[in-house]
């Protein structure tokens, strides 16, 4: 019998170890249209003047990196691009995708010891495993069956109290791994910013039935405990937890907003949205449809968190 957290971790590790490229079972926003990456590049440009280094966490198939590097090149920005990637197969795929930027990109499989710049991630934190809690009991798994046992990790109690969830009578998904990674990331970031984009929520009452889902062959896995074979398992990100614990790690929240609001504030994104309907070629019509999908569907479910590393790092209470 193992905790659901360990079950999910095993599934995710198996999945990404076997994954030759991103897009086999799901699409991310960068794959839909370059306007997504250009909007991010447009936003980051003002900060890269002082910190001309980008660290991308988990670059998928390299599409976001390609679009950002293309945008920076078009704007005359000389930016060093670092990709943190632990998957050998994805790293090979990214290398091929980004070969024309070979002199600007390099890969690391561990976070730099010290770093000044801008950290970006798109659908990265949702891969971390969560502990599933209900009524002060934790979900465990054995042979595809669910069992509820007393909470064994005192950090889960601390998290629930810290976030004010003691009286929340719904499923709780506690991602201690997210918090641990954010702490390590902040400790390595001496100066700069962290831009986190992912599907998520601010309070568990927004997702009373929980958010854990599986994806296999572009279909939703209904029961992740009983599904056979290799497939992806994800959970939506608790953004308020990243904000709350981020303060402990010296991270000041600049803003937290829905992806739709973030994109609509981008001049480049809005220009594409306004000009594409005026064109009648098939490619423009298809692009407009994809951009609307990003704006309408993903725009509501995704959040954008922008944090600045403060000059003084606070000690963690976790």
89-146 tens-digit pLDDT? 889 999 999 999 999 999 999 999 999 999 999 999 999 999 999 999 999 999 999 9
d(CA 10, CA 232): 10
Contact present, 90 and 16 (Cβ < 8 Å):
yes
Q: Please, is 73 exposed, middle or buried when counting C-beta atoms within 10 Å of its C-beta (0-12, 13-18, 19+)?
A: middle
The crossing angle, in degrees rounded to 10, of helices 88-97 and 4-18 is: 40
- The whole-number pLDDT of residue 280 equals 84
Residue with tokens 């070979």: 102
Is 229 strand, coil or helix? coil
Q: What is the DSSP letter of 172?
A: E
For the stretch 294-305, pLDDT in tens is 999 899 999 999
Is 151 strand, coil or helix? coil
d(CA 95, CA 171): 41
Neighbours of 25 (CB within 10 A): 17
Contact present, 186 and 247 (Cβ < 8 Å):
no
- The whole-number pLDDT of residue 316 equals 39
The crossing angle, in degrees rounded to 10, of helices 63-74 and 88-97 is: 30
Instruction: For the chain, list residues with pLDDT below 50.
Output: 313-318
Token pair in block for residue 188: 């390595």
Phi-psi sector, 136: left (phi>0), alpha (psi -120 to 50), beta = left
- The whole-number pLDDT of residue 21 equals 59
Closest CA to 311 of 251, 253, 229: 251
Token pair in block for residue 293: 């999908």
Domain ranges of the chain: 2-309
**CATH entry, 2-309, from 3.30.420.40, 3.40.228.10, 3.40.50.12710, 2.40.50.140:** 3.40.50.12710
Percent of the chain with pLDDT over 90: 80
The crossing angle, in degrees rounded to 10, of helices 267-275 and 282-293 is: 130
Q: Please, is 7 exposed, middle or buried when counting C-beta atoms within 10 Å of its C-beta (0-12, 13-18, 19+)?
A: buried
Residue with tokens 């995708």: 97
Contact present, 309 and 250 (Cβ < 8 Å):
yes
The alpha carbon torsion through 280, 63, 125, 21 (nearest 10 deg) reads 110
């Amino acid at each position: 019998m193992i905790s659901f957290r360990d079950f999910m971790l095993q599934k995710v590790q198996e999945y990404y170890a076997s994954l030759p490229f991103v897009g086999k079972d799901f699409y991310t926003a960068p794959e839909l249209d370059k306007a997504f990456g250009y909007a991010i590049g447009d936003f980051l440009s003002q900060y890269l003047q002082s910190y001309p280094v980008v660290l991308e966490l988990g670059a998928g198939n390299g599409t976001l990196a390609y679009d950002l590097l293309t945008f920076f090149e078009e704007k005359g920005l000389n930016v060093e691009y670092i990709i943190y990637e632990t998957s050998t197969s994805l790293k090979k795929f990214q290398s091929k995708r980004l070969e024309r930027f070979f002199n600007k990109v390099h890969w690391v499989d561990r976070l730099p010891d010290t770093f000044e710049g801008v950290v970006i991630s798109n659908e990265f934190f949702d891969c971390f495993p969560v502990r599933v809690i209900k009524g002060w009991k934790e979900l465990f798994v054995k042979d595809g069956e669910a069992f509820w046992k007393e909470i064994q990790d005192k950090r889960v109690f601390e998290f629930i109290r810290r976030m004010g969830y003691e009286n929340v009578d719904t499923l709780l998904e506690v991602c201690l791994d997210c918090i641990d990674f954010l702490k390590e990331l902040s400790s390595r970031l001496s100066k700069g910013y962290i831009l986190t984009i992912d599907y998520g929520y601010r309070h568990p009452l927004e997702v009373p039935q929980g958010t854990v889902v599986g994806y296999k062959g572009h279909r939703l896995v209904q029961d992740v405990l009983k599904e056979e074979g290799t497939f992806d398992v994800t959970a939506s990100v608790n953004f308020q937890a990243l904000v709350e614990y981020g303060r402990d790690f010296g991270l000041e929240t600049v803003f937290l907003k829905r992806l739709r609001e973030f994109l609509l504030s981008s001049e480049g994104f809005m220009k594409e949205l306004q000009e594409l309907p005026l064109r009648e070629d098939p490619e423009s019509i298809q692009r407009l449809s994809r951009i609307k999908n990003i704006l309408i569907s993903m725009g509501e479910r995704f959040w954008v968190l922008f944090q600045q590393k403060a000059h003084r790092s606070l000690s963690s209470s976790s």
